[in-house]
Amino acid sequence: MTIVTQPRGPARAGDRTVATRLERLRHASRLWPAALLAVLVVVPFSALPLPVLLDGPVGSPGNLQLLALCLVFGALATGYDLLLGRTGLLSFGHALYFAAGTYVTDIVLLESGLSFAVSALLGLLAGTALSALLGAISLRVDGIAFSMVTLAFAQAASILVQRDPGGVTGGEEGRAAPADGLPAPLVGIEHTPALYWTALAYLVVVLAVVQWTVRSPLGRVWEGIKENERRVEVLGLRPYGFKLAAFVIAGTLAALGGIVYLVLTGGATPRTTTSDFTLSLLVMVVLGGSGTRWGPMIGGILYTWADQRLGDLAGSQTVTSLPTVLRAPLSQPLFLLGALFIAVIYLLPGGVVRLPDRIRAARGLRATARRGEAVPS
């Protein structure tokens, strides 16, 4: 019997080639976030038009304002996912800590005359302390009871802000931040690029903090709590303290976002205290992909962009010229947002971030089907 062997040299060379390509792909996957960050940094200098997506050049003040809002809410959704996607905590009161950073900073600026740096620090500490206090109370219960307790705190805070005790919150109108109290390089339309870079810096900070904590031993315990809290208890760990840590870190990041939002919009509004605001964060996270590295950020950016741009679309000549049966629903931005969200949930389970994986899987299935057809029966 003759034994036929395959030459090893070319096979080994081919294996080395494949390994080299895979290593290059892994290296490129590590570099693309830095490349994207570099692109985002130079956006204010761009005159590139993006029809439909934006009105006019990318670097125009109006578009930079919109992009800055997108970055802020992308970061806010990423911080919120520490609770929902990483620890399995469904909080309906996360807006409260965002509002704490906004309102406390604004009130201190208006009432005390302290510098912006001191006021912002007090706003950040207020958000941290409030999240620690309310988290310590809310986490005494689990599941839907926890969600309801956080909702109750958010509703109470919203009512308090709207009733304007002592005239400090401005009631339903909110309060404008004093222009002379804000940093001079961040005031005025000519300084819109600086506002955009501030929002970008906030996003980078949130991503760094979230990734550092998720990869730390603390993050591994969060993952265990999400999967099976009882198993964590059996290992001798107390889930309460770890859940409280996630709650406080997420609340602190939200308070920091509230301060950036104050600078960006020039005031504090009661909209940021409502449970609807937290529901928007929930939609952002689910839209992008809960529990993923980039999903919440992508969801926050897409949702904020759609919220702004679909309003323009609803009032456009194209929509107003449609028959009544079509014009009535399409002229409502919330209807368009809801339809978009439902479409993503049904067509992209797991969020937008899963789209590349689904495309690769579909290609693999097609390739397998073609190979199966080529094999004689």
- The predicted-structure confidence for 9-56, as pLDDT tens digits, reads as follows 555 555 566 566 656 666 655 677 788 888 888 888 888 888 778 888
Instruction: Specify the number of domains making up the chain.
Output: 1
Residue 307 in domain: yes
Residue 210 to residues 87, 232, 244, 297, Cα–Cα distance (Å): 12, 21, 15, 11
Residue 6 in domain: no
- The predicted-structure confidence for 312-360, as pLDDT tens digits, reads as follows 666 666 666 767 766 666 667 677 777 777 887 788 787 888 877 777 7
Predicted TM-score of the model (pTM): 0.85
Residue 47 in domain: no
Per the CB < 8 A criterion, the answer to whether 185 and 194 are in contact is yes
Q: Measured between alpha carbons, how far is 30 from 103 in angstroms, rounded to an integer?
A: 39
Residue 50 in domain: no
pLDDT for residue 60 is more than 80: yes
Residue 179 in domain: yes
Residue 171 in domain: yes
Q: Is 168 helix (H, G, I), strand (E, B) or coil?
A: coil
pLDDT at 195: 94
Which CATH number do you get for residue 177?
1.10.3470
- The predicted-structure confidence for 83-137, as pLDDT tens digits, reads as follows 999 999 999 999 999 999 999 999 999 988 889 999 999 999 999 999 999 999 9
Residue 247 in domain: yes
Residue 24 in domain: no
Q: Is 267 helix (H, G, I), strand (E, B) or coil?
A: strand
- The predicted-structure confidence for 129-171, as pLDDT tens digits, reads as follows 999 999 999 999 998 999 999 999 999 999 999 898 888 888 8
- Distance in Å from the first CA to the final CA of the chain: 29
Q: What domain range is 364 assigned to?
A: 57-374
Q: Measured between alpha carbons, how far is 252 from 133 in angstroms, rounded to an integer?
A: 12
